[in-house]
Amino acid sequence: MLLIWCAVLILACLELSTRVGTAPICSYGQAGCHTPSLADIFDRVIQQSSRMHGISSDLHSEFEQYFFPSKNLIGKPKCHTHGIVTPADKENAQRLGREQLTEVILRLLGAWGDPLLQLYRSMSQDQNQDFNHYSSNKALEISDMVHELRDGVAKMAEKMKLSGVLGNTVGYISPEGLVPSSSFSFYKHGELNSMDHHDLLYCFRRDSNKIKNYLQILKCTTLPGLDC
């Protein structure tokens, strides 16, 4: 009889442990949820940024192979985000304060909302349906990912403030304050050709790689010793 009761208690404990381990994560601690740690949030935004960069890299490569098999004909475009000052390498990024690096990440993400949406619309209307039906869906996917990632980084910044590792100077940055308005005019007129598509994909691949790397550096300077 004693053995049976012990077995029942063990099973009950295992069931409770399983429930806790699989409890959904939520931001505000509702019933049945547990609040994610800062490390959890960092891991999520880094995973999201890595996936976003992977998709953008694949799309850029496939676009070049389809439209510009001879890469010698392609010049290096001037990206609309050239006005956002970014660290040139890992060492310079590590020397930046957390506030500055967080703002750089938010500025880069915010600067891509309108251009990626314009890219999707232009690709979806293009006559090269064999490729652009696929590519426009991918452009829409990365456009959605940029918005989701920016929200995630903003929540991460708020968590950093609450943890005392980030100052209150980091706040919301409006898209209009990110780059000169003249840089947006090109993307807003709605007449993009294949070369314009290529330039946007090239620039986003470059910037998404920066975002991914900066997030990893920010995690390592904020939470040293965690996969750094």
Average pLDDT over residues 206-213: 97
Is residue 12, in this structure, part of any structural domain at all?
no
* pLDDT tier, 74 (very low <50, low <70, confident <90, very high otherwise): low
Of the two residues 145 and 74, the one the predictor is more confident about is 145
pLDDT > 90? residue 23: no
169 lies in some domain? yes
pLDDT at 14 over 50: no
Q: Report residue 125's pLDDT band, with 50, 70 and 90 as the boundaries.
A: confident
CA atoms within 13 A on the CB side of 84: 29
Conformation bin of residue 180: beta by default, left when phi > 0, alpha when psi is -120 to 50: beta
Q: How many domains does the chain have?
A: 1
**15, part of any domain:** no
Hey, how many other C-beta atoms are within 10 angstroms of the C-beta on 157? 22
Which residue range is the domain that position 93 belongs to? 36-222
Categorize the per-residue pLDDT at 37 as very low, low, confident or very high, splitting at 50, 70 and 90.
Answer: very high
Q: CATH number for the domain including 135? A: 1.20.1250.10
Query: d(Cα 226, Cα 219) in Å, to the nearest integer?
Result: 8
The pLDDT, as a whole number, for residue 15 is: 42
Task: Give the ranges where 68-170 is alpha helix by DSSP (H).
Answer: 90-95, 98-111, 113-125, 129-162
- Per-residue pLDDT tens for 167-177? 887 655 544 44
Query: Which tokens in the block code for residue 108?
Result: 């880069």
Of the chain, the end-to-end C-alpha distance in Å amounts to: 52
